Amino acid sequence: MRPASLPLRALAFLALLGVRALAAAEETQPTVITSDSLEARSTDTRTYSTFSGHVVVAGTNIKITCDRLEVISTRSGGKAEAIGTQSQFEHLEAIGHVLIAQGDREATCGRAEVLPREDRIVLTDSPVVTDHSNGTRWTGEVITMLRNERRVIVGHPKVIGPPIKDLGFDKKEPAPPQPAPAQKP
């Protein structure tokens, strides 16, 4: 195999994988990763891939864009194979100008760890999560999103939600009578 074809072969293998643990729909789609460049290396059990420049990850119910993506995937196949066969994503780390769109939620941050086996995404470096279904926005130091639970855990949160109606009195109505002070016996 020519050295130049190694990154293309690794990309082809990665593109055929589904992010099974992040799939919210019953019907899954292959995960497709595109970028300006790819560097990949393998051990007997794992493949480490680094995508750089204009990275886009598109899969079942998820789209991630970022500057750099580091991927660790389980490797199977013969030890003599340069890359082997990737059977499952273990860890994805998106770095720089991260945008994640998943269903009616989207997140922005400087760094995101996607942990498919643990069904969670951990956002750091100025994370913001917006849930368009209810008009809520979370910011904090660390934001953890849990798959299919519609649950978000936020460290040092600031939550901006939809407005609450005025629970005060109507200024056009007269004030209610004040209770008489209690009399001493």
Residues 6+ apart with CB under 8 A from 11: 33, 38, 49
**Phi, psi values for residue 47, rounded to 5°:** -120, 130
* pLDDT, tens only, 149-182: 878 899 999 999 988 888 877 778 887 788 878 7
Residue 65, both tokens: 């864009």
- Quick one: how many helices (H) and strands (E) in the chain? 1, 12
Each residue of 76-112: pLDDT tens digit?
Answer: 666 666 555 556 889 999 999 999 998 898 999 999 9
Range with the largest mean pLDDT of 29-33, 66-70, 89-93: 66-70
Q: Please tell me the distance from the alpha carbon of residue 59 to that of residue 65, in angstroms, as a whole number.
A: 12
- 100 beta partners: 64, 107
Domains of the chain plus CATH, in order, are 5-160 (2.60.450.10)
Q: Which residue has the tokens 């480490």?
A: 48
- What pLDDT digit, counting tens, does each position of 114-160 carry? 998 899 999 999 999 999 999 999 999 999 989 888 788 999 999 99
Query: What pLDDT, on the 0 to 100 scale, is given for residue 7?
Result: 41
* Whether the predicted pLDDT of 13 surpasses 70: no
Q: How many residues are listed for the chain in this entry?
A: 185
Q: What is the pTM of this model?
A: 0.70
